[in-house]
Structure 1
Amino acid sequence: MDLKEIQNLIKFVANSGVAEVKLETGDVKITIRTTLEGSTETTYVQQMPQQNMLQQAVAPQQIAQVTSEAVVVPMADDSSKYVTVKSPIIGTLYRKPSPDKPMFVEVGSVISKGDVLCVIEAMKLFNEIESEVSGKIVKILVDDSSPVEFDQPLFLVDPS
């Protein structure tokens, strides 16, 4: 289920007057509760083993005058051995220092603690995001020039 489908479901529930809707599809379970003010609360839960049950809060989104808040529980898989580099601020992520320069890091790049991984522009200020671990970039989770939220995963690093 992608974001557009979830947003459409939230709009439908908000306009229908239903108090609560539960939907289960594969590994995803969604519960949408409507309050008296017409706002909805959405909770996403993915089934996973009891180990490594981490919850990640996603900032509230404004969708057609419907406020929703999502909680995502990531699936446990082979990526559990990797360190996730998360965004410390809200802004626009840039993977290059300027349009004519090469990317800070690519998949397979070996990084050290303190290396710049990307920059995030917030209110016309460019903030360098430095690595807090040494290792190898395994996966880049965000595209260049993409908006990012606080605590959003940006990179997976293999610390070994």
Structure 2
Amino acid sequence: MRLFGVFSTFFLSALMVLSTAPVANTREAEALVIERAEIIAGRDGQTDRAYVTIWNGGESPVSIIDVSIAGYEDVRVVTAAETTRVKVTDAVLTIPAKSELLMRPSTVYFEMRRTNPLTVNASVEIKIEFDNKRNMIIATSPKTQGTFTDHHHRREG
């Protein structure tokens, strides 16, 4: 009987650990928000660009490990200052805790090649994978050149 009591105490303790762990992860995941996503069409055969704003309100930094965009291939991270183009899987895009990643034409953005003809105002899904095992999808519509809108997280209160 004593063995059953030890086993049941161990089992209940393990169950409590398992049931509380996802709560913390869920809170962290809920703190990660894609606030904005835009796709701007390139001119005359140039590659298109995507800009996102992601708020990380969590207690830990998160990194983007992959990005896929419906209707596009060869998504790369471009840093405007260095004019480097790197595959997303080879880039380091870390969003510190309580901070945001704000992509702009003058800083950093995604560049990609269309696999289908451009349909302005059609819905396109952008899937972003993070190192915390979270995947997020946001829909946006491709826009013509020169229509970039600036947006970033503003603290309230």
Structure 2 length normalisation: TM-score?
0.23
| Structure of higher CA gyration radius | 2
Q: Which has the higher helix share?
A: 2
